[in-house]
Amino acid sequence: MRLEKCWFCSSTVYPGHGIQFVRNDAKIFHFCRSKCHKNFKMKRNPRKVKWTKAYRRLHGKDMTQDSTFEFERKRNRPERYDRNLAENTLKAIKKIDKIRSDRASDHIKNRLKTGKVQRQKEARKQLELGIHLVKAPLALAQDSSLCLPKIKVNVSQAQTEENQPMEE
């Protein structure tokens, strides 16, 4: 039994799932589900399809280089069963998995950090424009605790002279 990687989306294919396609040059493609299989038949390039791991790694959305990936190499030599080795391997798998997923989520968090200021500015603007959706304008006038503090600008006195009627 072997856990393969889906050729299209790079997720693991567990036994009993998916289809294997053997091309005429004897290259085997594993697919995790019919979605990936159908995309392959449509001749789509996984590096251009946004939800695949190949795209995400290529465009720097996901972590690409890490020492934890070294543990998951493909091994073709079957190991002689050793109870201690099996026990230690299972423990190690759990720990390495945790480390890898923590590092991957850190990578994503750092990537999204730079946009935080921009997102807050946009949120502020949206709140200002759409405050009537949050609280009725009448209620807002009476209790302006929901409003963002308005910046007061001093208008110069020269403007009030325009309102006087023209002298005949």
Partner 1 sequence: MIQPQTHLNVADNSRARELMCIRVIGASNRRYAHIGDVIVAVIKEAVPNTPLERSEVITAVIISTRKELKRDNGMIIRYDDNAAVVIDQEGNPKGTQIFGAIARELRQLNFTKIVSLAPEVL
- Based on the shown chain and the rule CB under 8 A, indicate whether residue 26 belongs to the binding site for partner 1: yes
Q: Does 22 bind partner 1 (CB under 8 A)?
A: yes
Helices (H) and strands (E) in the chain, counts: 6, 4
Least CB distance to partner 1 at residue 23 (A) = 5
Enter the tokens of residue 70: 């070294």
Q: Verify binding: residue 16, partner 1, rule CB under 8 A.
A: yes
The verdict on 33 binding partner 1 (CB under 8 A) reads no
**Which residues lie below 8 Å from residue 17, measured CB to CB, with a gap of 6+?**
32, 33
Among 3, 28, 93, 139, indicate the residue that binds partner 1 (CB under 8 A). Answer: 28
**Could you tell me the two tokens for 152?**
């007061």
Q: Which is nearer to partner 1, 18 or 46 (CB)?
A: 18
Tell me the Ramachandran region of residue 30: left when phi exceeds 0, alpha when psi lies from -120 to 50, beta otherwise: beta
Residue 139: φ, ψ to 5°: -65, -30
Interface residue with partner 1 among 3, 12, 20, 89 (CB under 8 A) is 20
Query: Per rule CB under 8 A, is residue 3 in the interface with partner 1?
Result: no
- Residue from 7, 8, 9, 18 in contact with partner 1 (CB under 8 A): 18
Question: Which phi and psi angles does 141 have, rounded to 5°?
Answer: -65, -35
- Give the binding site for partner 1 (CB under 8 A): 15-24, 26, 28
